């Protein structure tokens, strides 16, 4: 039984290390490519609010780094989730939103890999609207 605990501990430590390193999803490491990609955005959309079954007042900060290429039409293709904090629904929403982006494109841009990082709070209770007192 002691041996099983050691194997379990060996599996948990690398998992914790990968979660800790995913806090910015590579935004600092790939900042040059990300900033260049941001400068090429022609039109964008907001990622829809994601709420799961277990929402909290504070929510959870999630991030996703996506890599992709831009076609001659300016539309992204070959979209890949390169790094993520692990929220599968948020990952899917980011990819779906990115598919609707358009970028400034040129013939040479189709050979370059592009990257963006999406960072947001998910699974947060909706903020209630302030109540307006009724006038008699």
50 — alpha (psi -120 to 50), left (phi > 0) or beta? beta
Q: Which residues of 96-134 are buried (b: 16+ CB within 10 A; e: fewer)?
A: ebbeebebebeeebeeeebbbbbebebbbeeeeeeeeee
What are the beta bridge partners of residue 61?
A: 121
* pTM attached to this predicted model: 0.74
Question: CATH 3.30.2420: does it fit domain 23-122?
Answer: yes
Q: What pLDDT score does 18 carry?
A: 39
71-116 pLDDT per residue, tens: 999 999 999 999 999 999 999 999 999 999 999 987 777 788 999 9
14-66 pLDDT per residue, tens: 333 334 344 789 999 999 999 999 999 999 999 998 887 788 888 899 999 99
Domain ranges of the chain: 23-122
């Amino acid at each position: 039984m002691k041996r099983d605990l050691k194997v379990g501990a060996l599996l948990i430590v690398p998992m914790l290390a990968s979660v800790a390193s995913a806090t910015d999803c590579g935004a600092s490491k790939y900042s040059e490519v990300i900033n260049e990609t941001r400068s090429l955005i022609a039109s964008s959309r907001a990622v829809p609010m994601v709420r799961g079954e277990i929402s909290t007042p504070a929510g959870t900060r999630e991030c996703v780094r996506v890599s992709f290429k831009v076609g001659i039409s300016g539309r992204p293709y070959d979209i890949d989730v390169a790094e993520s904090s692990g929220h599968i629904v948020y990952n899917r929403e980011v990819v779906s939103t990115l598919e609707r982006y358009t970028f400034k494109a040129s013939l040479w841009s189709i050979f370059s890999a592009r990257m963006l990082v999406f960072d947001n709070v998910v699974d947060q209770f909706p903020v209630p609207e302030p109540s307006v007192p009724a006038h008699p």
